[in-house]
Amino acid sequence: MESPQHFTLKQVAESIRKTIAERYSRTYWVTAEMHKLNQTRKGHCYPELVQKEDESIVVEMRGTIWKQHFERIQQKFFEIVKEPLHDGMELLFHVKITYHPLYNIGLEIIDIDPNYTLGALQRERQETLERLNREGILNANQDLEMALVPKRLAIISQADSKGYSDFVTLLNGHPKRYHFSTFLFEATLQGDAAITSIQNQLKRIEKIKHHFDAVVIIRGGGGEIGMHCYNNYELSKAIATFPLPVLTGIGHSTNLTVCEMIAFRNGITPSDMAYFLLRIFEELDEPLDEILVKLPQQIQHFMQGATNQFAQLARAFQQEVQAAIQFEKNDFLNTVKDFEFRVKHKMSYSNQLLSELRNQIRSSSSYRLETQKRKLDNNIDLLQIHGKSFINTGRQSVLNQENQLIRSLPRTFESEELKLEKAEVRLKLLDPITVLQRGYAIVTNEKGVLSAKNKSKVGEELKIVTDAQTLTAEVKAASSDKN
Amino acid sequence: MNEEGLTYEKAYEELQQIISDIESGEISVDLLSEKVKRAAALIQICKNKLTSTENDVQQILNDLKSDQ
């Protein structure tokens, strides 16, 4: 039995090498994720290239970048992408497929296209922005209201970074000695690790958010590398939706990252952010200083105004009083003058009147006396004349009377005597004695003479007076009949 | 001096009011010294807000611990 043909391993390897070299004689552009760069001390790199599907590796190949290539590739990449080559990047490799008896199939990397990576990063940035916009949270953080005095700051940074120390030094070094309460939450600030690191610290801060007015993410002195994490959707969203204003100062000179765009406020550098915060304090403080200057001036001005006003009032009052006094004086003087004038006028008028009256009296009294005297004289004359005749007449009438009396006296006496006699006869007829003598009696009881008004009752004692005697009788019976 | 728990905003507002009252001469001379005293106190309150230490670091640490 003929033994089958056999090859040495070296022959097999050589055959494969030849086949591959012939089959893959040209170079190819291949996209792959650089899982690990694996740079040696000599400067060569042996990156692990992988392809993932649903987060699990489905292909893995070894890559090789020789030192002389790597330096060139690295420099060009950094210039364009502003990022160093680092693990986990999706890259476009210019490769030659090689076979090495010891290292097996591999890809010799001649070049890496930085524009592909840049495009991918810019795409990620664009996609993040669009997604935040779609979800309506693009301006969520910017729409928050910053505390009026944002002095309690949660700082996400690294204790040993220049950016952090610059920031804190500036805040505490203001000549007016403004006081900020800062509390550091340490985190990784660049590369992919930053995404979860910063998010974790944001979660811690959120739990005690009542202690803070704002969050400040500070990064400085780290150069221009590893900034693409700030375009990451998850981190951007965490910042956009954070309940406190998030301020960023992650100094770099490339395009603004999404985190910086959606933050409440972005400072180009940590110092810029510190100045921004100090400016808020200064803007609050300036009016206070102004007031401190203005207040004494205002008070002085106010007092001056009050003093002037008072002086003016006093002057005005004085003038008013003087005017009033003057007016009253004039008024009084006028009144006095007027009074004097009237009095004088009245006096002269009265005097005139008096003298007129005097004259009148003088003239009229002498005239009246004259007339009265004449009247009297007349009367005296008349009296004398009348008196004489009156006396004469009286005398005559007395004489007449006397004569008449003398003639009528006897006749008068006679008729009077006759009248007297007649009266005597009538008197005699009326005398009760005469009546008793004619047989009548006077019957009386206790009350007096019996009559219609004084009737006697049975049993009463009666007194009966007759011409001859007086009897006492008792009534036996009484009736009112007249017959 | 942080009397009445006045916020910066409230203190500053009140201060502004006093100043404008003095400016416009709406304050009587009787009230002036009282108002000026108040203004000085308010300025002090505002200045303190800008320069005083309020945060208790220990409290932040305790709160952080209790949440973990």
Q: What is the pLDDT of residues A252-292, one digit of tens each?
A: 766 788 999 999 999 988 999 999 999 999 999 998 988 88
Query: What is the reported pLDDT for A282?
Result: 93
Residue A194, pLDDT above cutoff 80 = yes
**What is the structure's pLDDT at B55?**
66
Interface with B, mutate which of A176, A208, A213, A280 (most B CBs under 10 A): A208
Residue carrying structure tokens 């960023």: A248
Residue A196 has pLDDT above 90, yes or no: yes
Interval A113-171: pLDDT, tens: 999 988 888 888 999 999 999 999 999 999 999 999 998 999 999 989 888 999 999 99
Give which of B6, B51, B63 to mutate to test A binding, by max A Cβ within 10 Å: B51
The whole-number pLDDT of residue B3 equals 59
Chain-chain contact of A178 with B22 (C-beta, under 8 angstroms): no
Burial A184-220 (b: 16+ CB within 10 A, else e): bbebbbbbbebbebbbebbebbbebeebbbbbbbbbb
Chain A partners of B40 at a C-beta cutoff of 8 Å?
295
Instruction: Give the residue from A124, A53, A47 showing the smallest Cα distance to A85.
Output: A47
Nearest CA in chain B to A306: B29
Structure-block tokens of residue A79: 């210039």
CA gap A84, A64 in Å, rounded: 17
Residues A380-422 have pLDDT tens digits of 888 888 888 888 888 888 888 888 888 887 787 888 788 888 8
**How far apart are the C-alpha atoms of A412 and A404, rounded to whole Å?**
12
**In chain B, pLDDT over 70 holds for what percent of residues?**
88
Q: What is the mean pLDDT of residues A362-389?
A: 84
**Residue B1 pLDDT grade (very low, low, confident, very high; cuts 50, 70, 90):** very low
State the Cα–Cα distance between residues A209 and A351, nearest whole angstrom.
113
Q: What is the mean pLDDT of residues A45-54?
A: 92
Is A214 in contact with A280 (CB distance < 8 Å)? no
Mean pLDDT is lowest, of A181-185, A298-302, B64-68, for B64-68
Phi, psi angles (nearest 5°) of residue A105: -65, 140
Query: Is residue B43 less than 8 Å (CB to CB) from chain A?
Result: yes
Span B25-56, pLDDT tens digits = 778 878 888 988 998 899 888 888 888 877 67
Angstrom CA distances, A287 to A13, A27, A148, A281, B51, stand at: 84, 71, 14, 11, 16
Q: What is the pLDDT of residue A222?
A: 60
**Residue A302 near chain B (CB below 8 Å):** yes
A178 interfacial to chain B (CB closer than 8 Å): yes
Q: What is the mean pLDDT of residues A195-216?
A: 95
Share the mean pLDDT of chain A: 88
A211 DSSP assignment: G
Would an 8 Å CB–CB cutoff place B6 in contact with chain A?
no
Chain B, nearest residue to A280 by Cα: B50
**A287 contact residues in B (CB cutoff 8 A):** 12
Any chain B CB within 8 A of the CB of A285? yes
Contact A44, A64 (CB under 8 A): yes
% of chain A surpassing 70 pLDDT: 98
Phi-psi region of A266 (alpha: psi -120 to 50; beta: other; left: phi over 0): beta
CB contact under 8 A, B50 and A176: yes
